[in-house]
Amino acid sequence: MGTQLHAKGVSFERSFDELNLTEPKIVEEIHRAYISAGAELIETNTFGANRIKLARHGLDQRVRDINFRAVKLAREAREIAGEPIFIAGSVGPIGQQMAPIGRITVAQATAAFEEQIAGLLEGGADLLVLETFTNLPEILAAVSAAKRSTDLPIVAQMTFAEDGLTLSAEEPSQVVQALERAGVDVIGVNCGVGPQVALQVLEQMRQQTRLPLSGQPNAGLPARVEGRFFYFATPEYFATFARQAADLGVAYIGGCCGTTPAHIAAMRAALTPTTSPTRLRTPSPSTAIAIDLNPAEQLPPTSFAQRLADHAFVISVEIDPPRGLNPAKCIAGAQLVKESGADAVNIGDSPMARVRMSALSLAVMIQQQVSIDTLIHFTSRDKNLMALQAELIGAHALGIRNIIALTGDPPRIGDYPSATGVWDVDSIGLIKILQRLNEGYDWLGTSIGKPANFTIACAVNPSAEDLDREIDRFRQKIEAGAHVAMSQPLYDRQTLERFFERTGSLPIPFLLGVLPLQSFRHAEFMHNEVPGIVIPAQLRERMRLAGENGIAEGLAQSRELLHDTKALVQGVYLMPSFGRYEVVAELVRWLRQERAPTLPSSRA
């Protein structure tokens, strides 16, 4: 990252980490270049984003912002690329000598690492990479901070000189023994003088441990040419290194300073014959879309609609479309939740008013490639009355017949604050349009040839501050023609019971919204900063006490809620945080193992 930023004209005197805030497009472009080259893991631009290093640039009060934004940039690059890659939160040394040689104590270093790691976790990093450390006490302080903060995987890498020792004269065997005791998940080497020393160190490490190893050497030693640093180890040389590292059993192979996207592409090509494919290939542009041009007069209900009609317990999982052209990550997520036992996936319509692939396009691809029912979020924000109906008719022809009618987030909160919202109708009006189409007519009463068979879903928030207004609109949605209700995320049975006490017996199925919490920070953010979300104090306290086990605690809370409410609802609507489909897939599997009750028709 540093080499690439410098190549784009950024001076070494600047804080590279601050660019996450001041030049985010440059950072994101670099991420996307490496993803395009074939990287399966990218690191955040946070190597020096700790309080002690940032203080040199007067940025010691921006630790959280810089680290949080760095992960967001990497995640945005991943979404635009559409590849199912991992995002590693990069943590480098504090940049000063530790006691007894220097003034920084172990406690101060640990606190600085904890602060940085908190920002990376809040942003949604998938793992942590502790890299380019030159002495054991400092990396052990970083490991301690990481272990106290999270249960995410920890990759711990040290830098070795030409003599095969660290700058503090530690041997590879000492490093391995200390890091194994500390409880890291991967041990390795990065930076340094180049691939040959890295391979020598890795050979010695392999004799000492069964843990996975990592190797990310520099592209040789740099040379300064006309004020800039250049590295001369070629992509072909790194392809050879990658094969040699793989032969040693190294699991995590990459490069550090000077390794360009061309180096990564060469390594990827060299390793492809010996590694299992991790990327889903989308159909070629010539692949035909199957459309029934002569459908029967009476169209059958979708499997989702049929399960609702049969009073079965229904499970749907939310998937947001990619921000770029590649839907592979979304399709892989749909495949995962289908295999786990989900009945359908929900697909957002540019949520938070941010530009994404259309929900309709992704729904068609998922239904064709994964064979699972989809429900598309359809907002009245972006289209006038004519365009709304045209797109709905087209969706029906493409086999997309489960629609959640929404008003939509206002453009001012998203990427294009100057964009104009249309809103010829709100969500209630949109439900009326869908119902008219189901009767065989457009909004003006013109025949569309035969009745459509949309399953119409509506949203409702049992935690709404103005519950009277929320219930009034909910009843209007039911009267307009909604077939099923899907709630905003809830976190306690009491709120649901109070809501049902106010509404009485519902004439339509009710699916409970569940969004598993990831950490205490996540819980505080959801409760205090997301409108309409209420998380009871005791649950937030449990998340605080869970510490590094936040994901497990969030899952436990979701299981408790689902167990307590399954008899009250006809299904659930699961929403993953940070695109972690594996977390909700675990909930789906658990629900399917539980014996879901068949509900009486009075609730349905």
Give residue-wise pLDDT tens across range 301-326: 889 999 999 999 999 999 999 989 99
- pLDDT for 282 equals 31
For residue 599, name the pLDDT band (cuts at 50, 70, 90). very low
Residue 294 reports pLDDT greater than 70 = no
User: What is the rounded CA–CA span in Å between residue 126 and residue 152?
Assistant: 7
Picking from 99, 124, 152, the residue at the C-terminal end of a domain is: 152
Q: Do both 126 and 181 map to the same domain?
A: no
Q: Do both 436 and 351 map to the same domain?
A: yes
Q: Do both 493 and 439 map to the same domain?
A: yes
Q: Which residue has the higher pLDDT, 412 or 150?
A: 150
Picking from 272, 303, 325, the residue at the C-terminal end of a domain is: 272
Q: Which has the minimum average pLDDT: 192-196, 348-352, 552-556, 577-581?
A: 348-352
User: What is the rounded CA–CA span in Å between residue 39 and residue 264?
Assistant: 6
User: What is the rounded CA–CA span in Å between residue 380 and residue 431?
Assistant: 10
Q: Do both 234 and 375 map to the same domain?
A: no
Examine residue 291 and state whether it is found in any structural domain, yes or no.
no
Residue 505 reports pLDDT greater than 50 = yes
Structure confidence by residue, pLDDT tens digits, 439-485: 999 999 887 878 999 999 999 999 999 999 999 999 999 999 999 99
Q: Do both 432 and 552 map to the same domain?
A: yes
- pLDDT for 298 equals 54
* CATH number of 166's domain: 3.20.20.330
User: What is the rounded CA–CA span in Å between residue 165 and residue 170?
Assistant: 5
- pLDDT for 273 equals 63
Examine residue 74 and state whether it is found in any structural domain, yes or no.
yes
Q: Classify each residue of 149-178 as buried b or exposed e, where b means 16 or more C-beta atoms within 10 Å of its C-beta.
A: bbebbbbbbbbbeeeeebeeebbbeebbeb
- The reply to whether the predicted model has a pTM over 0.85 is no
Q: Which residue has the higher pLDDT, 502 or 277?
A: 502
Phi–psi pair at 64, nearest 5 degrees = -60, -50
Examine residue 604 and state whether it is found in any structural domain, yes or no.
no
Q: Do both 140 and 168 map to the same domain?
A: no
Examine residue 49 and state whether it is found in any structural domain, yes or no.
yes
What mean pLDDT do residues 394-414 have? 91
Residue 72 reports pLDDT greater than 80 = yes
Q: Which has the minimum average pLDDT: 252-256, 418-422, 512-516, 546-550?
A: 418-422
Q: Do both 68 and 176 map to the same domain?
A: no
Examine residue 524 and state whether it is found in any structural domain, yes or no.
yes
Picking from 109, 125, 152, the residue at the C-terminal end of a domain is: 152
What mean pLDDT do residues 100-120 have? 95
Indicate the average pLDDT of the chain: 90
- E strand residue ranges, 418-538: 455-460, 484-489, 510-514
Q: Which residues is 154 bridged to in the sheet?
A: 128
Q: Classify each residue of 286-301 as buried b or exposed e, where b means 16 or more C-beta atoms within 10 Å of its C-beta.
A: eeeeeeeeeeeeeeee
Q: Do both 111 and 175 map to the same domain?
A: no
For the chain, the domain total comes to: 3
- pLDDT for 226 equals 58
Examine residue 58 and state whether it is found in any structural domain, yes or no.
yes
User: What is the rounded CA–CA span in Å between residue 396 and residue 1?
Assistant: 46
- pLDDT for 224 equals 61
Closest residue by Cα to residue 219 from 41, 3, 11: 3
- pLDDT for 482 equals 98
Q: Do both 453 and 525 map to the same domain?
A: yes
Q: Do both 335 and 228 map to the same domain?
A: no
For residue 228, name the pLDDT band (cuts at 50, 70, 90). low
Residue 335 reports pLDDT greater than 90 = yes
* Domain span at 77: 1-152
Examine residue 454 and state whether it is found in any structural domain, yes or no.
yes
Q: Do both 368 and 460 map to the same domain?
A: yes
Half-sphere exposure of 470 (CA within 13 A, CB side): 17
- pLDDT for 394 equals 96
Q: Do both 389 and 503 map to the same domain?
A: yes
Examine residue 401 and state whether it is found in any structural domain, yes or no.
yes
What mean pLDDT do residues 233-240 have? 94
Residue 281 reports pLDDT greater than 70 = no
Angle at 357 between CA 353 and CA 360, to 5 degrees: 105
What mean pLDDT do residues 356-366 have? 95
What mean pLDDT do residues 113-131 have? 97
* CATH number of 347's domain: 3.20.20.220
